[in-house]
């Protein structure tokens, strides 16, 4: 099993989750953190099964992800 980093965002109307390190657009949503993450995992599996291993060829790989806030 390969592990992927997934960003989960909380919005006023629910949660959105999307992986980093995959080619293409993949997202999940739900009323809770767990629902959005589960939906994203299902979408990721479908995306890889549909488009093959070439969606995994990300160089360089994402090692860490950070959330920062900047005032402009």
* Segment 1-35, tens digit of pLDDT: 788 889 999 999 999 999 988 888 899 999 999 99
In a domain, 69, yes or no: no
Number of domains in the chain: 1
User: 21 lies in a domain?
Assistant: yes
> Tens digits of per-residue pLDDT, 41-67?
999 999 999 998 888 767 777 788 888
Residue 43 lies in a domain: yes
21 within 8 A of 5, measured Cβ to Cβ? yes
pLDDT for residue 63: 81
Domain that holds residue 48: 5-56
pLDDT of residue 64: 83
Domain assignment present for 29: yes
**Does some domain include residue 32?**
yes
pLDDT in tens, 30-46: 999 999 999 999 999 99
In this structure, is residue 18 part of a structural domain?
yes
Q: Do 27 and 40 form a contact (C-beta atoms < 8 A)?
A: yes
Query: Among the residues of the chain, which ranges form H helices?
Result: 33-51
Task: State pTM to two decimals.
Answer: 0.83
Flag whether 66 is in a domain. no
**Residue 10 CB contacts under 8 Å (≥ 6 apart), including other chains:** 33
């Amino acid at each position: 099993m390969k592990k992927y980093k997934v960003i989960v965002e909380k919005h006023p109307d629910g949660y959105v989750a999307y992986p980093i390190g995959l080619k293409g657009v993949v997202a999940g949503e739900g009323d809770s953190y767990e629902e959005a993450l589960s939906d994203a995992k299902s979408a990721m599996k479908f995306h890889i099964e549909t488009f093959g291993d070439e969606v995994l060829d990300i160089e360089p790989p994402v090692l860490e992800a950070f959330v920062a806030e900047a005032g402009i």
